[in-house]
């Protein structure tokens, strides 16, 4: 029982990200942003010109909850706001001690340097686009004569006697809505992807969402990208509502899965 209790309370080093770090500079403290509720300091641990950003943490599996995931991401965002190029590390990567972290930095130094060079001066910009259901339906009626006439024929007729016609009308509207989604999605991607180094389109959630995308953009191109988003907003008017989020670490483009096996010791606290 005593051995089990000691194992549960064993302390490790939670790794949030890898950053570029001026060689010879004092280690940096980013504040009490560590995982969990203890307020552990987030700090750098460097090797040559790279560093891992770590905090003290019990060696355990953190549940994949919204609160925990946001805590992990906010810590990385705080580091990026400090002016560092960041390589996000997989959620719940916990090393045994500082010595193990140093060995990882030494072992994978070239890989980290190559990725840091690739991500230098880059940021992630996110865009979600959602239809206004009422306005898009009005547009479909105005633009599609067949749907408009079918709807007019059913006006004031008993529902029980026009069930199949109403089902078919619903299918027609759904097909027209999907066509409008594809058209708007294509316009948005065509407008923005030329300014991005890379982009990722994630699954939509909800029937009204037409685009859920992340773009990897050079900081120097951010003003131009902002302008293009404004142009899209003007083009779509109120039919499509845009949610635009900027200045994020490259979460959708880098997710380091660090091998914690150093000198034959395997430690995996992740999920």
Reported as a single tens digit per residue, the pLDDT across 89-126 is 999 999 999 999 999 999 999 999 999 999 999 999 99
At 127 the pLDDT is: 96
pLDDT of residue 270: 37
Angle at 50 between CA 48 and CA 54, to 5 degrees: 120
User: Residue 9: what pLDDT?
Assistant: 59
**Bridge partners, residue 124, by sequence:** 216, 248
Residue 20: which pLDDT band, with cuts at 50, 70 and 90? very high
pLDDT tens digits, 158-202: 777 777 777 776 787 777 777 878 888 899 999 999 999 999 999
- Quick one: pLDDT band at residue 262, thresholds 50, 70, 90? low
Task: Look at residue 16 in the predicted model and tell me its pLDDT.
Answer: 97
Instruction: Please tell me the distance from the alpha carbon of residue 77 to that of residue 258, in angstroms, as a whole number.
Output: 20
Mean pLDDT of 79-83: 94
Q: Is 1 exposed, middle or buried (0-12, 13-18, 19+ CB in 10 A)?
A: exposed
Q: CA torsion 72→11→102→253, rounded to 10°?
A: -20
Mean pLDDT of 72-95: 96
Structure confidence at residue 3 (pLDDT): 44
DSSP state, 189? H
Q: Which carries the bigger pLDDT value, residue 66 or residue 270? A: 66
- Average pLDDT score over residue span 136-152: 70
Phi-psi region of 209 (alpha: psi -120 to 50; beta: other; left: phi over 0): beta
Q: How far apart are CA 231 and CA 109, in angstroms?
A: 42
Distances 90 to 14, 76, 137, 192 between C-alpha atoms, Å: 10, 11, 42, 28
pLDDT in tens, 31-61: 999 998 888 999 999 999 999 999 999 999 9
53 and 21 in contact (C-beta within 8 Å)?
no
pLDDT in tens, 121-140: 999 999 999 988 776 666 77
Counting Cα atoms < 13 Å in the Cβ hemisphere of 263 gives 8
Measured CA to CA, the distance from residue 262 to residue 265 in angstroms comes to 5
Dist. CA 57–CA 68, nearest whole Å: 13
Domain coordinates in residue numbering, the chain = 2-120, 124-248
175: Cα separation from own chain's centroid: 30
């Amino acid at each position: 029982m005593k051995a089990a209790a000691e194992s549960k309370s064993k302390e490790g080093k939670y790794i949030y990200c890898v950053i570029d770090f001026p060689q010879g500079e004092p280690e940096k403290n980013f504040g009490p942003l560590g995982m969990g509720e203890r307020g552990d300091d987030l700090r750098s641990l460097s090797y040559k010109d790279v560093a891992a950003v770590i905090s003290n943490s019990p060696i355990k599996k953190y549940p994949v909850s919204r609160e925990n995931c946001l805590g992990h991401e906010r810590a990385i965002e705080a580091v990026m706001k400090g002016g560092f190029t960041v390589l996000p590390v997989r959620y719940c990567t916990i090393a045994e001690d500082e010595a193990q972290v140093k060995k990882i930095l030494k072992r994978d130094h070239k890989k980290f340097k190559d990725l840091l060079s690739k991500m230098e001066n880059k940021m992630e910009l996110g865009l979600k686009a959602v239809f206004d259901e009422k306005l898009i339906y009005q547009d479909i009626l105005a633009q599609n004569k067949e749907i408009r006439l079918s709807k007019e024929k059913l006006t004031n007729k008993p529902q029980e006697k026009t069930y199949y016609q109403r089902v078919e009308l619903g299918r027609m509207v759904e097909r027209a809505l999907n066509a409008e989604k594809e058209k708007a999605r294509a316009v948005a991607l065509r407008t923005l992807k030329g300014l991005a180094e890379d982009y990722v389109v994630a699954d939509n959630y909800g029937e009204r969402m037409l685009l859920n995308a992340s773009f990897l953009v050079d900081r120097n191109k951010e003003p131009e990208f902002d302008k293009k988003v404004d142009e899209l907003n003007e083009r779509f008017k109120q039919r499509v509502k845009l949610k635009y989020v900027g200045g994020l670490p490259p979460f959708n483009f880098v997710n380091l899965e660090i091998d914690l096996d150093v000198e034959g010791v395997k430690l995996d606290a992740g999920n």
